Structure 1
Amino acid sequence: MIFDFRLKVFYTVAQRLSFTKAANELFITQPAVTKHIKELEQQLNIQLFKRNGNNITLTAAGKILMQYAEKIFHTYTDLETELAQLNNVEAGTLHIGASTTVAQTILPKILALFKKTYPEIIFNFIQGNTDYISQLILDEKIDIAIVEGAAHSPQLAYSPFAKDEVVLVTRANNKLSKKAEITPRQLLDIPLVLREAGSGTLDVIFNALASVQIMPKDLNIEIQLESSIAIKQYLLYSDTAAFLSIQSVLSELKYHELSIIDIKGMEIFRTFQFIQLHGKNSRLIDLFKRFCLTNHNIK
């Protein structure tokens, strides 16, 4: 996308209201985020954020710029679409896959917009845990996929799609929700609902816990379920907690059905990644990847 990267940095910070989370999502350092915002404020000769300790909010000018940034990004999306159509890449068949969290939270909107933008492209879509989707790529049953998790196969090419945060959540207004923050060791006393073996989310959680000397055998695991949707339903009728993508619980947090429990000194970030076979590429695959990158965080 041909735009001033500083505007992209501003847009991401404005969405997350966090320089740290914006840096993680954009794959740059926090000082780089600060530098881009400072340069943009100097260029516009106006303050875009109010800073109060570790918290930031948009100024009146920042809110106006946020509105126009969204319009600008949508305009660039339309421009890229028309230019792509000139290259006759708007027809064909694409086999797409995604791991469960991505398939349930991010891709439905993108796939709908992709079909609306390129109605002549036929695509098939399949979801499953990271191990299953990766195997489909290796078996050449799908062309391109987006997965979570830390596992890597030497036969697959990986490229970053988006950053995501995994948070510990529980049913609002139960005794666990009153614990705004816990230590990593206190986690051992909480009954947990986890994803199934082979889940990329589970791999990320176990890796993060290992960094604070907590092993899977130490956890109080009440049940393991195969999707975020099932886990959320279980949470609503139990006094358990679960590690879930922040993307998958936005609605429940908004309507105060679930609450986040912070773990002192521990944040869990992971990268959703495109995967495809090394050497297997096409204009359709490239088009789909560009479309995902352009549209995944535009409201």
Structure 2
Amino acid sequence: MDPKISYFKTFISATKTKSFSKAAKKLGVTQGTVSNHISALEKYFDAQLFLRTPEGVDLTPEGKILYEKAEKILDHINDAKQYMRILHEHPEGIVRIAASTTPGEHLLPSIISEYKKEFKDVDFNIEITDSEKCFKLLETGAVDIIAVGNIYDKSYENVVIGKDRLVLIVPPNHHLAKKGVAKLSDILKEDYIDREAGSGTREILMKALMDKGYSMMDLHIIMSLGSHSSIITAVSEGYGVSIVSEIPAKKAAEAGLVKIVPIEDLDLTRYLYLVKGRKPRNPSAVKSFWDFVNK
């Protein structure tokens, strides 16, 4: 078994005090523990380290070699701990994030902006993709953190960063816009513009439909697009209706591009999450950002 750092500390203390009993008292352990530590080191190095004398213990030639190296080893370890402590207080480097559209485009920018006011030496690489791919990137270690609207794997540590609602958007002159309210049965009759497979938005809609006894097959899907912005454009141009995040939908409605129509019989509320990988490439920066979000 490889020796522990505590064994070297015991060895150095015994060397300096020239006594196992004095070393035990200084370290706050039993004399038997000191003897076991020294015995483990002698077994590991296959060498006798001390000569027992009536006055106590003296180093053998092999022991003198280890003493010189052990002090340097512990010095290096203490230096490393100090540098790590400084790095934890002043993190630097890059945090890699994959994000689905809604949190990536509408929540992360403001969170990161606030974080960087305090931690200016940490930068972010952000890839926008669908929620399912975000989890695949996290699993392979390609990113450190993901921001998503759907949790595919609950074994990862996660934190809620926002609440979102999916809403029905229609062209401004659409009959449902004039009606001012819609039911699921109304949506099933319309040409529907879908999000691509793997998106959190689509997953939430699928679950809501299943709760009502329907599936995506019951929608009259005419096309699938990869972002809320492209769907909003398609809806505004009259190609169909769609269900998207309320965050970009509100901006589009304020610009007069679409109308938001409440759905009476479909609950599409969801949470948005940050999910942390198990082995980040830059642990100190990731921990700093994670702690900041969890404050």
In structure 1, the gaps of 5 or more residues are 1-84, 295-299
For 2:191 and 2:137, locate their aligned partners in 1 and report how far apart those are by CA, in whole Å. Answer: 34
Residue in 2 aligned with 1:95? 96
Q: CA deviation at 1:240?
A: 1.4
In structure 2, the gaps of 5 or more residues are 1-85
For 1:120 and 1:150, locate their aligned partners in 2 and report how far apart those are by CA, in whole Å. Answer: 30
Look up the SS of the partner of 2:208 in the other structure. Answer: helix
Q: Deviations over 1:56-99 (max 9, x none)?
A: xxxxxxxxxxxxxxxxxxxxxxxxxxxxx996234232112211
Residues 278 and 214 (structure 1 numbering): CA distance in 2 closer, same or farther, change over 3 Å?
same
* Aligned residue runs from structure 1 range 283-298, under 5 A: 283-292=284-293
Residues 290 and 178 (structure 1 numbering): CA distance in 2 closer, same or farther, change over 3 Å?
farther
Residue in 2 aligned with 1:235? 235
Q: CA deviation at 1:180?
A: 1.5
Q: Does 1:258 align with 2:258?
A: yes
For 1:267 and 1:286, locate their aligned partners in 2 and report how far apart those are by CA, in whole Å. Answer: 35
The aligned amino acid for 1:152 is D
Residues 137 and 150 (structure 1 numbering): CA distance in 2 closer, same or farther, change over 3 Å?
closer
Contact 2:167 2:246 in 1 (8 A): yes
For 1:164 and 1:145, locate their aligned partners in 2 and report how far apart those are by CA, in whole Å. Answer: 17
The aligned amino acid for 1:104 is E
Q: Does 1:127 align with 2:133?
A: no
Residue in 1 aligned with 2:152? 151
Look up the SS of the partner of 1:249 in the other structure. Answer: helix
The aligned amino acid for 2:222 is E
TM-score, structure 2 normalization: 0.64
Residues 223 and 162 (structure 1 numbering): CA distance in 2 closer, same or farther, change over 3 Å?
same
* Aligned residue runs from structure 1 range 204-215, under 5 A: 204-215=204-215
The aligned amino acid for 1:191 is D
For 2:239 and 2:261, locate their aligned partners in 1 and report how far apart those are by CA, in whole Å. Answer: 13
Q: CA deviation at 1:237?
A: 0.5
For 1:194 and 1:276, locate their aligned partners in 2 and report how far apart those are by CA, in whole Å. Answer: 29
For 1:292 and 1:190, locate their aligned partners in 2 and report how far apart those are by CA, in whole Å. Answer: 41
For 1:86 and 1:218, locate their aligned partners in 2 and report how far apart those are by CA, in whole Å. Answer: 55
Residues 233 and 117 (structure 1 numbering): CA distance in 2 closer, same or farther, change over 3 Å?
farther
For 2:124 and 2:260, locate their aligned partners in 1 and report how far apart those are by CA, in whole Å. Answer: 37
Q: Deviations over 1:117-141 (max 9, x none)?
A: 4221132221211111111111111
Residue in 1 aligned with 2:183? 183
For 1:167 and 1:196, locate their aligned partners in 2 and report how far apart those are by CA, in whole Å. Answer: 17
Residue in 2 aligned with 1:162? 162
Contact 2:193 2:240 in 1 (8 A): yes
Residues 150 and 97 (structure 1 numbering): CA distance in 2 closer, same or farther, change over 3 Å?
closer
For 1:291 and 1:147, locate their aligned partners in 2 and report how far apart those are by CA, in whole Å. Answer: 18
The aligned amino acid for 1:185 is S
- Report sequence identity in percent: 23
Q: Deviations over 1:233-259 (max 9, x none)?
A: 111101511111111122222233221
Contact 2:88 2:285 in 1 (8 A): no
- How much is the aligned-residue C-alpha RMSD, in angstroms? 2.5
For 1:113 and 1:125, locate their aligned partners in 2 and report how far apart those are by CA, in whole Å. Answer: 16
TM-score, structure 1 normalization: 0.63
Residues 257 and 140 (structure 1 numbering): CA distance in 2 closer, same or farther, change over 3 Å?
same
Look up the SS of the partner of 2:89 in the other structure. Answer: coil
Contact 1:95 1:144 in 2 (8 A): yes
